[in-house]
Chains A and B, each alone.
Chain A
Amino acid sequence: MKKKTIITAFVCLIIALSSFVMFACGGDGKTSYQYYTTFFNTIKTEGAMFESGSAVGVQTNYQLKNFQSKTFDGETVTAVDDDQNYLILLANGLNFIEKYYPRLEKNKNTSLKSGINSMTDSFDQLLVEYQNIIDVSDKANYEIYNGNFARYKWQTKDFINNVYQSALDLGNLIYEDLDIDGTIETLHQEETKTESDEKAPTKEEIADKFELEFYFDYQNILILEDYRAFLMDSAIGQQLDYSLYQTVDGSLTLFTGVIGQNLKDLSAQELISYIDLCQKFASERTYTTEAITEFSCYEFVNDYDQNLDSYEKSVSGASIYKLQIEKYFGDYISRFTNFVSSNVVA
C-alpha cells in the first residue's frame, strides 16, 4: 500500500512537471505566418504613429508621423523634422516583411516567431511612447516635449532593429528555397541555346524559377541592413557631425531612390551579370559587417575626437575598418546603385 502510494505520487509529479514544461516552453501551435498576420493586423488597427505616403522616397503604409523635435529661438517654438533615416529604414523594413510573409501561408514553419514576438513587444512599447509625445505635445513646454521625444526616438530605434532582424530571418528562409546555382546553369543554357533547341527554357520559365523580384528585394534589404548597422549600432542612432557619417547618410537617400522601381525584362546575360555582382557584393558585405561591428563611429567622434591614432590604440585595425566602411558606403553602393539603375530596373 505504501509502495503504491509512493509510485502514484511519483507519477503525478512527473505529469505535473511535464505539463509545466510543455506550458512554459511549448508552442501554441501557431505558425510564423499566423504570427505575422496577427502582427500586421495589430499595427494596422493600433498603429496610430503610422500614415501612408512617400515623403521619404518610398511608397509605404508605415511612414512615421510626428517624428519631430522642437527648437526654441527665444520667441517661438518650432517643430523640426528629426533624423529621416529612421523613417526610411523603418518603411523599407516593414514593406519587405509585409510583401513576403504571405509566402509562408502554406508553410508550417514556426522558427520565426521568437523574432516576431520581440518585434511585437517593441511595437507595443513604441505605441506607449508615441502616445506620450501626443499627450505632451500641446500641453508641455518644448524641453519636456523633447525629453519625451528622445524616449520615442530611442524606442523607434529598438523597433527598427527588431524589424530588420525579422526581415532578415524571413528573407533568409525564402532565399534558402532558391536554387541559385541551378538558376545560373539554366541561364547559361538559355544564353547558348539555338532556335532548334526545344529543351532550353523560355524566358518566362527562367523568371518563374529565379523569382527575380524577390531576389532583387532581398539584396536591397541586405544592403539596408548594412545601413541600419552603421546608423543604429556604430553611430548609435545619433546624427554625427563627421564626414564618414555624412557619406553614409547621403548615400542612403541615393540608394533608396532606386528601390521600388519596376524591373525590366532582363536577358540571360544580364541576369548572370547581376547575380555575379550580388555575389561579389555579399563578400564585401561580410568585411563591412565586421568593420561596423568593430568600429564605433559614435565613440570615434565623441570619445576620441576623430583622432585615429588614439582610437587605434583602443581598437586594433581601426584605420582598416574605417577605410572599408568608407569604400563600401562611399563607393561600392553608389556603383551598385548605378548598375541597377542602368541595367536592372526599367
Chain B
Amino acid sequence: MAEKKDYTTGSRKWLIILSVLVLVAIIAVVIVLLVPGNTYSMVEVLHSHSTTSFLNVDNTSERENYDKLKAEFDIAVTGYKQEVEDIETLSQTINNVLDFYDEYTIFAKNNGTLTQNYKSIKSNLNKASRLQDDMNEEIVTLISLSDNSDTYQRNAWIDLRVIYVDWLESMQNAITRLNTCYQGCFDPSFTNNRASTLVLNTVDDYIDVIINDFKSVIEKDKKSGSVETYSYTIAGKIKLFRAFVNTQLNSENFVDYTFDGQTKVFYDDVNQFFTLYDQEDFKYIISSINPNGAITENFEDVDAGGSLTCLANTKTFLSGGEV
C-alpha cells in the first residue's frame, strides 16, 4: 500500500503567506482611506479643483462648447436665455470663491479642524468633478441637437439643470467646510477678522438661497409640462452675488477692517444688523432680491428702530455696492 502523501504542511505554509498578504493589503487600504488630511493634501485637492472648475476662465475648450451652446440654444428656446447666461456667471463666481480659499490654504494649520473637514471637502470636490464631466457630456448633446426640435433641446436643458444643481450643492458643501477651516485653521490676523467672517458666511447664505431657487425652477419646469410653466427669477440674485463677491471677497477689505476706521464702522454696522436679525433673516433679505437685482425687503422693523445707517450699509454690503 502506497504511503499517503501529506500535503498539510505545505498547504498551511501557503495559507499563512496568503493570509499575511491579505492582511497587509487590508492594512494598506485602511491607511489610504483613513489617513488624516493635512495642509499639503488639502492644498493639492483645492488647487487642482480651483484651476479646472466648471467654466473656469482658463478652461478654454469647455468654455468654447458653452459659447456654442449659448448661441444655438438662444435661437431655439429663447425663454431660457437668461438662465443659460446666469449659469456661466454663477459658475465663475463660485470659482472666484474657490480661488480665494486656494490663496490661503497653504498657510492653514494642521489641526483638528482641518482633519475633520478635509475628507468632506475632498469628496464633495471630487463629486463636483464627476458632475462637471456629466454636464460637459450633456452640453455636447445639446449642441448636437441644434437641428432637432425645441422640445429635445428643452428636455436636454432640464436634464442639465438637474446635474448643475447637484454640482452647486457639492460646491456648497465644500465651500461651507472651507469656511469652517478658514475660521479654525488661522489665528486672528489682518485677514481673519469680523469682516472676513461676515463675508464668508454671506457667501454661504447666497449660495444656499440660489440653490433653493434653482430647486424651485426644477420643481415647476418638468419635461412633461409646457414651456409656459417655466418661471425663472434668479437673475437678480446671481447678478448681486457676482457683485458681492467681486467687491467684498477681497482681502484688502479685511485688512482695512483693522486699519481703516470707516471700513471698521461699515462692517460693524452690518455685523450689528446680522446680530439683531439672525442668519435666517439675513437669508430672507437675499431672497427678496428681485430679477432686476433690487433688494425689495424694506426693513420696516429696522427703520422703526432708527438704525438707518446700519440698514443702508447692510444693503450696500449685500449688493456689492450696486444698489
A and B bound? yes
Q: Are A287 and B251 in contact (CB under 8 A)?
A: no
Q: Are A327 and B251 in contact (CB under 8 A)?
A: yes
Partner of A320, one of B103, B188, B189, B192: B103
Known A280-B258, A327-B251, A339-B259; judge A317-B43 contact (CB<8 A). yes
How many Å lie between the Cα of A281 and that of B189 in the bound state? 6
How many Å lie between the Cα of A331 and that of B258 in the bound state? 13
Closest partner residue, chain A, to B109 (CB atom) = A286
Q: Using a CB-CB cutoff of 8 Å, which residues 292-346 of chain A contact chain B?
A: 316-317, 320-321, 323-324, 327, 331-332, 335, 338-339
Closest partner residue, chain A, to B192 (CB atom) = A283
Q: Are A280 and B190 in contact (CB under 8 A)?
A: yes
Q: Residues 287-318 of chain B: 1 if any A CB is under 8 Å from the residue's CB, otherwise 0?
A: 00000000000000000000000000000000
Interface flag for A284 (CB, 8 Å): yes
Most A C-beta atoms less than 10 A away, residue of B103, B186, B190:
B190
CB distance from B18 to the nearest CB of A (A): 41
Partner of B190, one of A286, A321, A332: A332
CB-CB under 8 A from A327, the residues of chain B are 251, 255
Q: Using a CB-CB cutoff of 8 Å, which residues 256-313 of chain A contact chain B?
A: 277, 279-284, 286-287, 290
Q: Are A287 and B255 in contact (CB under 8 A)?
A: no
Partner of B255, one of A279, A321, A332: A332
Interface flag for B147 (CB, 8 Å): no
User: How many of chain A's residues touch chain B, expressed as a range?
Assistant: 20 to 34
Q: Residues 178-193 of chain B: 1 if any A CB is under 8 Å from the residue's CB, otherwise 0?
A: 0000000011111111
CB-CB under 8 A from A279, the residues of chain B are 188
Q: Are B189 and A283 in contact (CB under 8 A)?
A: yes
Q: Are B259 and A335 in contact (CB under 8 A)?
A: yes
How many Å lie between the Cα of A286 and that of B258 in the bound state? 18
Q: Residues 229-247 of chain B: 1 if any A CB is under 8 Å from the residue's CB, otherwise 0?
A: 0000000000000000000
How many Å lie between the Cα of A290 and that of B251 in the bound state? 19
Closest partner residue, chain B, to A328 (CB atom) = B190
Q: Are A323 and B103 in contact (CB under 8 A)?
A: yes
Interface flag for B284 (CB, 8 Å): no
CB-CB under 8 A from B103, the residues of chain A are 320, 323
Q: Using a CB-CB cutoff of 8 Å, which residues 102-127 of chain B contact chain A?
A: 102-103, 106-107
CB-CB under 8 A from A323, the residues of chain B are 103
Partner of B107, one of A280, A290, A338: A290
Partner of B258, one of A277, A287, A316, A317: A277
CB distance from B221 to the nearest CB of A (A): 42
Q: Residues 14-56 of chain B: 1 if any A CB is under 8 Å from the residue's CB, otherwise 0?
A: 0000000000000000000000000000010000000000000
CB-CB under 8 A from B107, the residues of chain A are 286-287, 290, 324
Known A290-B107, A317-B106; judge A280-B43 contact (CB<8 A). no
CB distance from A152 to the nearest CB of B (A): 38
CB distance from A168 to the nearest CB of B (A): 20
CB distance from A312 to the nearest CB of B (A): 10
CB-CB under 8 A from B106, the residues of chain A are 317, 320-321
CB-CB under 8 A from B192, the residues of chain A are 283
CB-CB under 8 A from A282, the residues of chain B are 187
How many Å lie between the Cα of A280 and that of B195 in the bound state? 14
How many Å lie between the Cα of A320 and that of B103 in the bound state? 6
Q: Are B189 and A280 in contact (CB under 8 A)?
A: yes
Closest partner residue, chain A, to B108 (CB atom) = A287
How many Å lie between the Cα of A332 and that of B258 in the bound state? 10
Closest partner residue, chain A, to B191 (CB atom) = A284
How many Å lie between the Cα of A279 and that of B186 in the bound state? 13
CB distance from B194 to the nearest CB of A (A): 12
How many Å lie between the Cα of A292 and that of B65 in the bound state? 42
CB-CB under 8 A from B193, the residues of chain A are 280
CB distance from B249 to the nearest CB of A (A): 15
CB distance from B47 to the nearest CB of A (A): 8
CB distance from A177 to the nearest CB of B (A): 22
How many Å lie between the Cα of A321 and that of B105 in the bound state? 11
Q: Are A335 and B43 in contact (CB under 8 A)?
A: no
CB distance from A268 to the nearest CB of B (A): 19
Closest partner residue, chain A, to B44 (CB atom) = A316
How many Å lie between the Cα of A277 and that of B189 in the bound state? 8
Closest partner residue, chain B, to A277 (CB atom) = B258
Q: Are A283 and B259 in contact (CB under 8 A)?
A: no
CB distance from A309 to the nearest CB of B (A): 12
Q: Are B188 and A331 in contact (CB under 8 A)?
A: no
How many Å lie between the Cα of A327 and that of B189 in the bound state? 13
Q: Are B259 and A280 in contact (CB under 8 A)?
A: no
Q: Are B258 and A283 in contact (CB under 8 A)?
A: no
CB distance from A279 to the nearest CB of B (A): 7
Q: Using a CB-CB cutoff of 8 Å, which residues 242-281 of chain B contact chain A?
A: 251, 255, 258-259
CB distance from B52 to the nearest CB of A (A): 16
CB distance from B190 to the nearest CB of A (A): 5
Q: Which 9 A-B pairs have the closest CB atoms?
A: A283-B189, A283-B187, A287-B107, A335-B259, A317-B106, A280-B189, A320-B106, A284-B189, A280-B190
A-B contact pairs, 26 of them (CB 8 A): A277-B258, A279-B188, A280-B188, A281-B190, A282-B187, A283-B187, A283-B189, A283-B190, A284-B190, A284-B191, A286-B187, A290-B107, A316-B43, A317-B43, A317-B106, A320-B102, A320-B106, A321-B106, A323-B103, A324-B107, A327-B255, A331-B255, A332-B190, A332-B255, A335-B255, A335-B259
| Inter-chain pairs besides A282-B187, A332-B255, 15 sampled, C-beta below 8 Å | A277-B258, A280-B189, A280-B190, A280-B258, A281-B190, A283-B189, A283-B192, A284-B191, A316-B43, A317-B43, A317-B106, A320-B103, A324-B107, A335-B259, A338-B259
